[in-house]
Structure 1
């Protein structure tokens, strides 16, 4: 537990740097581009993150799961790199389809479509989940945090340069693209110093050969990651498609500020998953304690959003973005719920129940996306935020029920003390 708290501390320190600098580049982008211009920027970034999120496999989990054995992470890393290469190939096809079709369903000018495709390409080439997995396998959270801090630093510097020399959507997209490349290079460099990477072991068949059920785990975690993207980036695209670029930009700001807790939930999940894999006997107790801590933190964060959110929006993004205040509060509540559910979801995945976690995430997410238009027709951005809140609540309830079932199964199959003492 002490190591877990220390690892979370490293991750949160990185999130702290990211949070502070994100306020800087968010303020620069919103005030420079304005309501509609920031909407175009938000749509392009969402396209890039959608393509990467849908095509990308959660290879860091594979490295942690199969790289901790006596043979080391060589074959697990080779499998992860092979999947990364597959992700790039699949992602290019998806990017081409989305960017070509954007003219028919997204409020994006034609001259920005090549920019969107270029950003998608850079995002795919900057996939970095494998080196992240290598660092987490060795519990090198300090080194990983230092490498990941490159991204917000480059974004902030790039945003300043964009304001000074190219105060357009293209200028800010170039800054974001440079940050993606820089953080990927930093993580691969850090991982290479921590663990020798043997490229001769790149293979899609060795791990599945030695670990039956590997492909089921791969596709379950991939689909879970895709659904996480669907609940955020795809949602921004659909909000833009339904309400226009102004709605997309407003929802992006509300989401970035209100759902900062979702990023915190992902941080907790990434830190606790390796611990749960290595400490199976105490996994339930560890997850329960983390959920209790998360409940307190989430409640405090929602209180801060309610009391100071409107002033924060005006100070950071400008007066015209104050209209997204209630959407931001609703998304903050959704983030608090996700924070509580993060350790429960990780517990299911670490116990080999990735398919269960996928099902608990899939149904609420798809339901929320299906109801999005009706919700926006009812109450605009607040309606869109309510779909996120409902999806998060249903998913976490599902995780809780699944964990209770898992606990009962564990108790049932556990041998009685007197049976274990017999000769």
Structure 2
């Protein structure tokens, strides 16, 4: 637990720097571009992150899971890099399809479609899950945090330059793209410094050959990651498709401020997963303690959003964005629920139940996306936020039920084992 809290501290420190500098870019982008311009920017970023999220495999989990053996992470790293290459190829095709069809369903001007495609390709080339996994495997959270701090610094600096010299959507997209490239390069350098990367071990066959069921785990975690993207980035795209660019911009601001807790949940999940893999016998205890702590933090964060959210919105983004206050509060509640569920989801994945975690996450997410149009017709951005809240609540309840079922199975097996064992021969 002491090491877990130290690792979470490193990750939260990085998140704190990221959050503070993100406010700089958010304030500059919203005030420079206005509601509609920021909406275009939000749609382009959401497209890039959607493509990357759908095509990207959670390779850091593979490195942690299969790289902890006595042979080291060589084969696991080679497998992860091979999957990254496949992600870039598949993602490029997906990006071409989405951008080509965007004119029929997204409120993006024609001159921004090539900007969107370029950002998608840059995002794919900046995939960095594998070096992150190498650092987490060795519990090098301090070095990972230092490398990841480059992203918000470059992004904020780029936003300042864009506001001064290129106050357009393209200018801010270039700033974001530069930050993606910079942090990917930094993480690969730090990971290679800490662990030798043998490119001759790049293969899609070795790990599946030695670990039956590997591909099932790969696809389960990929689909779970894709659903996490769907809960946020695809939601922004659909909000824009239904309500227009102003709705997309408003929802992104509300989501970024209100769902900061979701990023915190992801931070907790990333820190706790290696511990659960290495300490299977104490996994339930660790997850339970983290869930209890998360509940307290979530309640406090919702209170902050409720009483200080409107002031924060209007101070950072401007008075035009004050209308998304209640959507932000609803999303903050959803974030608090996700914070509690982060350790439960990690517990399922670490116990080899990635498929169960995927199904539990999939059903509420797809339901939320299906009901989005009806919800927005009912109550605009607040209706969209309620679909996210409902999805998060159903998913966390599902994780809890799945863990209880898993515990019950273990208790039943333990109770029947002595009776099934053959009697020991007399001495």
State the TM-score, normalized to the length of structure 2.
Answer: 0.97
The match for 1:55 is: 55
Aligned to 1:91: 91
Show the 5 A alignment for 1:22-421: 22-414=22-414
State the SS of the aligned residue for 1:72.
coil
Unmatched segments (≥5 aa) in structure 1: none
Query: C-alpha displacement at 1:168, in angstroms?
Result: 0.3
The separation in 2 between residues aligned to 1:251 and 1:163, in whole angstroms, is 22
Q: Residues of 1 paired with 2:412 and 2:343: CA distance?
A: 23
Q: Could you give the per-residue CA deviations for residues 356-411 of structure 1, whole angstroms, max 9, x where no partner exists?
A: 00000000000000000000000000000000000000000000000111112222
CA distance in 1, matches of 2:202, 2:363: 35
Q: In 2, Cα distance between the equivalents of 1:194 and 1:409?
A: 41
Q: Give a deviation string over 1:234-277, Cα, whole Å, max 9, x none.
A: 00000000000000000000000000000000000000000000
CA distance in 1, matches of 2:132, 2:334: 27
Provide Cα deviations, 1:118-145, integer angstroms capped at 9, x if missing partner.
0000000000000000000000000000
Q: Distance in 2 between matches of 1:193 and 1:328?
A: 41
Normalised to the residue count of structure 1, the TM-score between the two structures is 0.98
Say which SS state the counterpart of residue 196 (structure 1) adopts.
coil
Give the conservation status (yes or no) of the 8 Å contact 1:284–1:407: no
Runs of 4+ in 1 over 4 A off after TM superposition: 415-420
Partner of 1:282: helix, strand, or coil? helix
Per-residue CA distance 1:195-245 (angstroms, 9 max, x = gap)? 100000000010000000000000000000000000000000000000000
Secondary structure in 2 matching 1:300: helix
1:52-111 Cα offsets, whole Å, 9 max, x none, are: 000000000000000001111000000000000000000000000000110110000000
State how far apart, in whole Å, the 2-side matches of 1:409 and 1:186 are: 45
Distance in 2 of aligned mates of 1:254 and 1:386:
13
How large is the Cα RMSD of the aligned pairs?
Answer: 1.4
C-alpha distance in 2, partners of 1:170/1:408? 55
Distance across 1 between alignment mates of 2:379 and 2:106 = 21
After TM superposition, give the deviation of residue 341 of structure 1 in Å.
0.2
SS of equivalent to 1:78: helix
2:183, 2:99 → 1: CA distance? 25
Mapped to 2, the partners of 1:240 and 1:100 lie a distance apart of 17
- Total equivalences in the alignment: 423
